[in-house]
Amino acid sequence: MFKKAMELKIKDENGAEWVGVKGLVNEVDTLDRFAIVGVGYKIAQHDDVFEIVNKALEDLSIKTITATTEMNDGARLRIDLKFPEITHSIAEEQLQLWATFDNSYDGSTGLRLEINAYLPATETNLYCSEIISEALNKYYHKHTKGLEIGMLEGTISKGIEIFQDKMKKEFEMLVATRLTPDQAKEFIVELLEDKKVKTAKKYLQMIHENIGERITDAWRFYTLIASILTKEVASVDIRKNNARELLKHISKQKWRNGNMVMQTEVKEEEQQYKMAE
């Protein structure tokens, strides 16, 4: 079904074998090279990973919509899992549990499962780990350890609990947090001027241009950011990293009486406090 990897010894031009490393290549075409890895690296074949993920979901009796994407010329596999029966409503919008499972032969990722949320109405991926005050439960194993189905099932079960309880409460807090369009624009302008921010300016400018009267709370601002990144950023890794960085900046904002206090206001308050001292 998917590409399979195999190990090859690596030799230099004189025929001497490299010590402590080995090559990973396509089992069908050995000229299709994936990576050079340490000798302790254990191959997790894409087909085996796909089968184990499906077995874990079958054991948990959970209905899912599954899609797979091969990246890096087949060296990486992403399994997208939507859970149509595991939902809750936020601001009259229906959210689904969404999970992704990644595996690779080229070192771009270990065996990684992440639990997030999905807005079916706008097909928006919500990366949640930075907006939730406590990181969501993740399953991550290096290829030196291999895949354990029991731990995978446990992580999925824990992710469902977090989605239905903690994530819902945090999203409801965002809905209750008042935010004006001007405040949202000011926030993006600050990020555009901050040289430490890694998110590409074109995405920040796109977000800034799309801030309208609909932005009345932090939830709508959050979903606007996620929607633009979902639709405009092709690379799943860049999309995820950009979303997390922006959500991290949102989560760092100070909250007062259900309102989002921008950093400029915080600095003014701190200055006034120092003057009073």
**Residues 25, 112 share a domain:** no
Q: Is the pLDDT of residue 148 over 70?
A: no
Q: Which residue has the higher pLDDT, 239 or 272?
A: 239
Q: Is the pLDDT of residue 246 over 90?
A: no
Q: Is the pLDDT of residue 30 over 70?
A: yes
- What b-and-e string marks burial along 36-49, b requiring 16 or more CB atoms within 10 Å of the CB? ebeeebebbbbeeb
**Residues 234, 193 share a domain:** yes
Q: Is the pLDDT of residue 155 over 90?
A: no
Identify the domain boundary among 138, 156, 176.
176
Provide the pLDDT for residue 108.
Answer: 83
Q: What is the mean pLDDT of residues 127-149?
A: 57
**Residues 163, 53 share a domain:** yes
Confidence band, pLDDT 50/70/90 cuts, at residue 260? low
Domain containing 267: what range? 181-276
Q: What is the mean pLDDT of residues 213-240?
A: 86
**Residues 272, 241 share a domain:** yes
Q: How many domains does the chain have?
A: 3
**Residues 234, 155 share a domain:** no
Confidence band, pLDDT 50/70/90 cuts, at residue 245? confident
**Residues 105, 52 share a domain:** yes
**Residues 63, 133 share a domain:** yes
**Residues 209, 231 share a domain:** yes
**Residues 59, 21 share a domain:** no
Indicate the range of 46-60, 214-228, 231-245 predicted with least confidence: 231-245
**Residues 261, 160 share a domain:** no
**Residues 132, 240 share a domain:** no
> Residues with Cβ < 8 Å from 239, sequence gap 6 or more?
125, 229, 230, 233
**Residues 86, 32 share a domain:** no
Structure pTM?
Answer: 0.78
pLDDT tens string 64-112: 999 999 999 999 999 999 999 999 899 888 999 998 889 999 888 888 8
Identify the domain boundary among 157, 176, 195.
176
Identify the domain boundary among 129, 146, 176.
176
